[in-house]
Structure 1
C-alpha cells in the first residue's frame, strides 16, 4: 500500500478530528419528531441525505473542482445556497478545521492560499473543497476522492446516529457496509449533473436543519 493510500485512509478515519461528530445537519430534528427512531428509518433518512444533499452539494462541487471550476466560485456558491444558518456555520467550522489539519500533514501552496482567503474573509471554507484540493495535490483520481469523501460523510452520520437515536454499533456497521452500493450509485448520478444543479437540496432536509436551532434539548450543534 502506498503512502498516498495510507494518508487518505487516515483523513477518512472517524477519529480524524474535524468536529463532524458535533453536527447532525438536521437529523436530530427528525429524531425528536419521532420520524427517525431505528435502523430502518435512519437508513431512509441517510439515503435521502446521500442522494439529495451530498450529491447535489459536496459531491457535485468536488467533481466540478476536478473538472476545472474555480474553487472560490464553488466556495461562494455552496455557502450562499445553504439556507440554514447552522448548516452554513457548521460546514464552515468543519472545513476550516480540516484545512488546518491537512496543512499540517501535507503543506501546499494551494491549501495555504485557501486558508489565506478565509482569513481575509474573501472565502468561507467547505470540507468538500478542502478534501478535493488535498486529493488533487496527492494525485488521487476524482472517483476515488468522491467515494472516499462520501464514505467519510456517511460514516460520520452513522456514528452520530449511534449516539442520537441511539443505534447499536453492530447495526451501524451493517448499515455502513450496505451503503457501499449507494455510494457507487451516487458517483454515477454526479456524472450526469451540471453546475446549474449545484445547491439543490430536498425541502424537508432544509427545513429540519432550520428548525434544529429551536429544539429544546440538543445533542448536536446543527
Structure 2
C-alpha cells in the first residue's frame, strides 16, 4: 500500500526533530564510546552506527515497530501489549530503558493531545483502547509507540520504518557532532552513506517476527551501562 500525501505529511510531523519527545537529550551510550576513544571521526561513527542498525538496537527496534504495526492493523491489542512489554524488557541498561520509555510515552502523550487518530479503523480502535485520552500513561517503548500510531493513522509500515531509522541515525549523528566534535558536513556524509544500511534493515524488519530479534551490539550496551557513572556528561544516556 503506497503512502498518501496526507500520510506522508503526518509521518514527517510525527518523526520530525521538532516533535517533543526529547530525543536530543539522549546519545544511546555513544557519549561513553566517544569518551573511550572508539568514535573519533566520521569513519568510526559510521562503522558504529552501521553495526547498531544491522546487529544491535536498531534492528531490534525496527522489528518491534513492524510487529506492533501489524498487530494494530489486525485489531489485536494484546499483540501490541506483548510487543511493548518485550520492548521494555530488551533495554540493556537503566539509561537505555529511560531513553526508550521516556520518548515513547512522550510521543503517545503528544499524539493523544495533538495528533489523535480516528477510531474508525481496527488500528484506530486499538489506539483508543490502549492510549486513554486522559490520565497518566504507562511506560511505552518508543518504536512500539510509533508503530501503533502509524497504523492508526493508516501510514504503511515500510515508509514508517524508513523514517524511524533515519531519525534514529540522524539523532545519534547530531549527538556525535556535539560530543566528538564533528562538522555538520561530516555528519551529513555519514547519514548519506547509511542510506543503504537503513534500506536493508527496513526490508528485513518489514517481514520479521518477535522471534527474529537478536542483538550483537554488546559494546554499545556496555557503554550505556558505563555512562551511568561517567563524570562529565552532556546526555541522559
TM-score greater than 0.5 by the shorter chain: yes
Aligned residue for 1:67, secondary structure, equals helix
Which residue number in structure 1 is paired with residue 235 of structure 2? 220
**Structure 1 residue 162: Cα displacement:** 1.0
**Aligned residue among 20, 37, 41 for 1:38:** 41
Asked if 1:93 is matched to 2:102, the reply is yes
In structure 1, C-alpha distance between the alignment counterparts of 2:155 and 2:57, rounded to whole Å: 20
In structure 2, C-alpha distance between the alignment counterparts of 1:40 and 1:213, rounded to whole Å: 26
8 Å CA contact 1:99–1:111 kept in 2: the answer is: no
**Structure 1 residue 201: Cα displacement:** 4.5
Asked if 1:196 is matched to 2:196, the reply is no
Q: Count residues in correspondence.
A: 221
- Structure showing the higher helix proportion among its residues: 1
**Aligned residue among 180, 184, 191 for 2:199:** 184
In structure 2, C-alpha distance between the alignment counterparts of 1:10 and 1:67, rounded to whole Å: 21
**Structure 1 residue 176: Cα displacement:** 1.3
What TM-score, normalized by structure 2, do the two folds share?
Answer: 0.84
Which residue number in structure 1 is paired with residue 122 of structure 2? none
Distance 1:120 1:72, change over 3 A: farther
Which residue number in structure 2 is paired with residue 146 of structure 1? 161
8 Å CA contact 1:53–1:202 kept in 2: the answer is: yes
Which residue number in structure 1 is paired with residue 84 of structure 2? 75
In structure 1, C-alpha distance between the alignment counterparts of 2:92 and 2:187, rounded to whole Å: 29
Please show how residues 24-173 of structure 1 align to structure 2 within 5 Å.
Answer: 24-68=27-71, 70-108=79-117, 110-116=126-132, 123-173=138-188
**Structure 1 residue 9: Cα displacement:** 1.2
In structure 2, C-alpha distance between the alignment counterparts of 1:61 and 1:201, rounded to whole Å: 17
Distance 1:191 1:16, change over 3 A: closer
- The runs of at least 4 consecutive aligned structure 1 residues that moved more than 4 Å come to none
Deviation by residue 1:149-178 (Cα, 9 ceiling, x = unmatched)? 111111111111111111111111122122
Is the deviation greater in 26-35 or in 108-117? 108-117
In structure 1, C-alpha distance between the alignment counterparts of 2:84 and 2:20, rounded to whole Å: 22
8 Å CA contact 1:143–1:187 kept in 2: the answer is: yes
**Structure 1 residue 192: Cα displacement:** 6.2
List alignment gaps of at least 5 residues for structure 1.
none
**Structure 1 residue 199: Cα displacement:** 5.4
**Structure 1 residue 105: Cα displacement:** 2.7
Distance 1:191 1:4, change over 3 A: closer
